[in-house]
Structure formats: C-alpha cells, structure tokens
Amino acid sequence: MLYTSSLFRWLQRKRYQYEVTFSLYMLTPTEKFIFNSFLVLFLSMIIIAASLYLPEHISTIMRRAWFYWAGDEAIATSTKSVLSSTSVARSIARDAGYGGTPRPEDVLERLGSL
C-alpha cells in the first residue's frame, strides 16, 4: 500500500509539473485534450520516423567516416593499377630512349634524318 500511494503522489506531481510547464492549467478540458492529442501525434510521428530512417542515416554516416578514415578500396585498387601501368610505360620509354629495344617509330625517324 505504501508503494502505490507514493507512486500515485509521484504521478500527480509529474502531471502538475507538466500542466504548469506548458500552461495547460488555464485551458478548458477540451483545449487540453486537443493540445495533448497534437503532442501525442507529433511525438509518435518523430518516433516512427526515427525508427524507420535513423538506422539508414547512421549506416551512411559510418560508411562516410570509414571512407574518410581508410579510403575506398576500389579507388585504392585502381590507383595501384594506374601506378603500375604508369611505371610500365615509363620503363618502356626509358628502354626505347636509353639503349633499350627501340620502337619502330624511333627507328624510322632516325633513318629519315640520315
């Protein structure tokens, strides 16, 4: 019995605090009902929207944070392939220009200048 009476007093105090905070004590019961209905509707819409869309937004934020921190694996792979092909092209040019196996265009150009 002691717990129910203390719980009941606590609930009454919270109801009083709610009515004083939002100035509902000066409204008629119909106006209180309308205000409380809008409040419940608004809060339920926020809860539904958060439960539906918040997980997607959190995963998007986590993906972007991971991208900024670690980079994109596809970009890293393509960068490695570009760098390796660039190094291969440089080695071919170096070989053609510096005593390696010359390209046919270089041979014809050298013959034409003679």
pLDDT per residue as tens digits for the range 31-45: 999 999 999 999 999
pLDDT per residue as tens digits for the range 61-102: 988 888 888 776 666 565 556 555 555 555 555 555 555 555
Rounded Cα gap, residues 47 and 52, in angstroms = 9
Is the overall model pTM greater than 0.85, yes or no?
A: no
